[in-house]
Amino acid sequence: MFRNATLPDGSRRDITVADGRITSFVEPAPGPGIDLGGALVLPPLVDGHIHLDKTLLGLPWVPNQAAGNRVADRIEAERRVRAGRAVAETETGANLVKQVLASGTLHMRTHVDIDNQLGLKNLHAVLAIRERFRGLATIEIVAFPQSGIVRSPGTAALLDEAVAAGADLVGGLDPVGIDGDLEGHLDTIFAIASRRGAGIDIHLHDGGEGGIAEIDAIARRTKALDLAGNVAISHAFALGSVPTDLAARTADTLAAAGIAIMTHGPGAATMPPVPLLKEHGVEVFSGSDNIRDAWSPFGNGDMLERAMMVGYRANFRHDHELALAFELVTAAPARVLGLADYGLKVGGTADFVVVDSATVPEAVATRPRRKLVVKAGRVIARDGVLV
Amino acid sequence: MFRNATLPDGSRRDITVADGRITSFVEPAPGPGIDLGGALVLPPLVDGHIHLDKTLLGLPWVPNQAAGNRVADRIEAERRVRAGRAVAETETGANLVKQVLASGTLHMRTHVDIDNQLGLKNLHAVLAIRERFRGLATIEIVAFPQSGIVRSPGTAALLDEAVAAGADLVGGLDPVGIDGDLEGHLDTIFAIASRRGAGIDIHLHDGGEGGIAEIDAIARRTKALDLAGNVAISHAFALGSVPTDLAARTADTLAAAGIAIMTHGPGAATMPPVPLLKEHGVEVFSGSDNIRDAWSPFGNGDMLERAMMVGYRANFRHDHELALAFELVTAAPARVLGLADYGLKVGGTADFVVVDSATVPEAVATRPRRKLVVKAGRVIARDGVLV
């Protein structure tokens, strides 16, 4: 029993819990249980795009070593960092899972590097992490060809093996910008996804009309293979770098194909126009992306902070806009991950996050420390620290 | 005596203090004093652009009420919010000063709204705040014509009165975009600054080549009136929205005129190219800008977080870039504010901030809680809370 909760709609309720599920929301009354004192109760945060295997969290500071500012430079630098790693991905990745659990994230989609340097090493590390945190965190895995597919011999077979070994989705990476072979790249990943019954989540940094052409190609294959609802494009910077009418037409294409867009609120790159996409019926969700790794020194896995960053980059200021930013880190990625029991509802899992804010927009703007994180009715973190 | 400090250059030293000043940095040795345990000691943070009178900090959440997304819409909305204010600016502004002190900001430049609705009311509120926190915080005041000058009858005289009453600088606001009168706007503020011996800090949101033309006009007047080193342009979004060669030529103009540029790392607007400006010899500094006010729901006054935002928006990833972001919230605004005693040096005021980080770049990326804030040798905040 959790008493005196302020729900996102502003109502004050006691939340009754049995067998790890919410059984009712009732008028507050005195009695036993945890008194929340009117604090705001939020559904758990969901990270739609994280890289558990890349993070160097817990290691002494590792300066960025990329020789230049291209994606290809960062790929090369990461291959060097990986080779010199003194601590296993199972440990740094677990550090990150603990940190995000303490911040209220209970579900995540992680991309895992698969290439001809690593083979399936990182996949096995993340499978071990998933096993270790089973019951606390839902971890969906994307087999991500970080070094490309066509340009990186052997990767196609590794992606297929990865899905057989436990990855839930097939990833991709700039079919043109990295692989220089739109058809070859997409043929490979759609074939694996179709054959194995897996979803798809493609990193697409390529901008401008070229990037839009890649989105169109992804949409054509998604429709042809009847994969609506199982395909996402991460970043999709192109949508923010073309004229509005082309972005709108592309939004219609995405909505018709059932493709979701992930944005983390990029720092310097152009950002997909979130309100326009929503108006056209496109599912949009958010994620942390890189967190203290060979790609970025920034990030901490706090999805309330991520909602703020997305809102800040999207010029959101009004409450309905901040509420949309919140949806991007809660209900939207929950839909994309297919979390049936998600949300503050009778019958749903008793998962929630408690903060000292009056409203959801205030929580997004101020990103207060998490007073409590509750998983299946049990307090797992208090004041930002796992218990 | 503060023992076992890690200095920004990585060396480990004891810091001796007498009469509020640093008297030496010596090899660590056992003895009395505060043991910092190897924590990183940073110079105090400096906020080059804050709005102490605008913030609604400490009030219940106030949703943004602007009817549209133009600067003019936000000006109108703020005039309504001001009129409905239940708590005085002296109180909300003091709330903000306390919050920034606890985060390690000991010096700031605040803009204060001056217009024909307010008269000098907000100036007097901020003068009272300055007096209240004398000895703890340096507060430089810009008389800021938030509703324009030419379009807002009576404002020119109010700006002049404001400087006579204690404001240190004259502000400005989009001479073309808001006032529609480049010459009239600039003539007014440069005349006041010249006559009163005050500095100038102009808000310039106007983008594109039009914005560049305004920068050129400001530079011409700065040279003509011999105001090099006393003029700043805040935001200067135009520098990030024109081709690189034009931005570079304008940087040369700014450097020759001795005009500094303030960027807060805007969310959706284009950002001045910080490395290019620095390469061309332009002083660049940072500030919080709006903090929970009628303009923005975001912001908290933490200048380490601001350095992160500037770095994130500028695509900074390498350590030397993160160090530059740090300079923008410390030494650079200290130079702009003319703080002679600033910095970790023998003879300087014993002001500093202690954090659990190994290096300055790590502190920018992770923005750790401030373990200690020290003002003139006295601990004024511990673990993020004023003592």
Question: Per-residue pLDDT tens for B80-123?
Answer: 888 888 899 999 999 999 999 999 999 999 999 999 889 999 99
pLDDT at A70 exceeding the cut of 90: no
| CATH number (domain holding residue A222) | 3.20.20.140
User: Chain B residues with CB inside 8 Å of A365's CB?
Assistant: 292, 297-298
Percent of chain B, pLDDT > 90?
Answer: 95
Say yes or no: B249 and B289 in one domain. Answer: yes
Say yes or no: A382 and A234 in one domain. Answer: no
DSSP H stretches of helix in chain A: 71-83, 89-102, 121-132, 155-165, 182-196, 208-224, 244-257, 274-279, 303-313, 319-327, 331-337, 360-366
Selecting from A63, A300, A315 the residue whose C-beta is nearest the C-beta of B69 gives A315
Average pLDDT over residues A160-175: 98
CA B7 – CA B67 distance, rounded (Å): 49
Chain-chain contact of A313 with B268 (C-beta, under 8 angstroms): yes
How many Cα atoms occupy the beta-carbon half-sphere of B101 within 13 Å?
A: 22
Say yes or no: B86 and B17 in one domain. Answer: no
pLDDT at B70: 86
| CATH number (domain holding residue A7) | 2.30.40.10
Average pLDDT over residues B274-279: 98
Q: Which of A292-296, A298-302, B68-72 shows the lowest per-residue confidence on average (mean pLDDT)?
A: B68-72
Chain-chain contact of A61 with B314 (C-beta, under 8 angstroms): no
Average pLDDT over residues B137-142: 98
The boundaries of the domain holding residue B366 are 2-43+342-386
Say yes or no: A52 and A35 in one domain. Answer: no
Q: Which of A114-118, A158-162, B5-9, B139-143 shows the lowest per-residue confidence on average (mean pLDDT)?
A: A114-118
Q: Which residues are paired to A18 by β-bridges?
A: A21
Chain-chain contact of B361 with A300 (C-beta, under 8 angstroms): no
pLDDT at B85: 87
Residues with Cβ within 8 Å of A213's Cβ and at least 6 positions away in sequence, in order, are A182
Say yes or no: A104 and A253 in one domain. Answer: yes
Instruction: State ipTM.
Output: 0.97
pLDDT at A213 exceeding the cut of 90: yes
Backbone angles phi, psi at A355, to 5 degrees: -135, 155
Say yes or no: A117 and A23 in one domain. Answer: no
Measured in whole angstroms, how far is the alpha carbon of residue A336 from the centre of its chain? 10
Selecting from A66, A300, A365 the residue whose C-beta is nearest the C-beta of B298 gives A365
* Predicted confidence (pLDDT) per residue in A327-362, tens digit: 999 999 999 999 999 999 999 999 999 999 999 999
Say yes or no: B160 and B278 in one domain. Answer: yes
DSSP states along B225-283: TT-TTSEEEEE-GGGGSS-HHHHHHHHHHHHHHTEEEE----SSS----HHHHHHTT--
Average pLDDT over residues B31-37: 95
Domain count, chain B: 2
Average pLDDT over residues B276-305: 97
pLDDT at A69 exceeding the cut of 90: no
pLDDT at A83: 86
Average pLDDT over residues B361-383: 98
* Predicted confidence (pLDDT) per residue in B293-323, tens digit: 999 999 999 999 999 999 999 999 999 999 9
Sign of CA dihedral A222, A261, A153, A121: negative
* Predicted confidence (pLDDT) per residue in B38-47, tens digit: 999 999 999 9
Say yes or no: A213 and A64 in one domain. Answer: yes
Distance (Å) from the C-alpha of residue B255 to the closest C-alpha of chain A? 25
CA A127 – CA A101 distance, rounded (Å): 17
The 3-state secondary structure of B221-239, one letter per residue = HHHHCCCCCCEEEEECHHH
Say yes or no: A29 and A126 in one domain. Answer: no
Interface probe for B, chosen from A55, A62, A64, A302 (most Cβ of B below 10 Å), is: A64
Selecting from B292, B312, B318 the residue whose C-beta is nearest the C-beta of A365 gives B292
pLDDT at B287 exceeding the cut of 90: yes
Q: Helix, strand, coil shares of chain A as percentages rounded to 5?
A: 35, 25, 40
User: Chain B residues with CB inside 8 Å of A311's CB?
Assistant: 267, 298
For residue A238, give the DSSP letter.
Answer: G
Please name the amino acid found at residue B215: I
pLDDT at B72 exceeding the cut of 90: no
Q: Angle A303-313/A319-327 helices, nearest 10 degrees?
A: 130
**Residue in A closest to B66 by C-alpha:** A318
pLDDT at A86 exceeding the cut of 90: no
pLDDT at A85: 87
Q: Is B10 on the interface with A (CB under 8 A)?
A: no
Q: Is B308 on the interface with A (CB under 8 A)?
A: yes
Q: Do residues B43 and B343 lie in contact, with contact meaning Cβ atoms separated by under 8 Å?
A: yes
User: Chain B residues with CB inside 8 Å of A60's CB?
Assistant: 358
Say yes or no: B106 and B187 in one domain. Answer: yes
pLDDT: which is higher, B54 or A86? B54
Distance (Å) from the C-alpha of residue A247 to the closest C-alpha of chain B? 17
Say yes or no: B32 and B151 in one domain. Answer: no
Say yes or no: B312 and B226 in one domain. Answer: yes
Q: How confident is the model at residue A139 (pLDDT cuts 50, 70, 90)?
A: very high
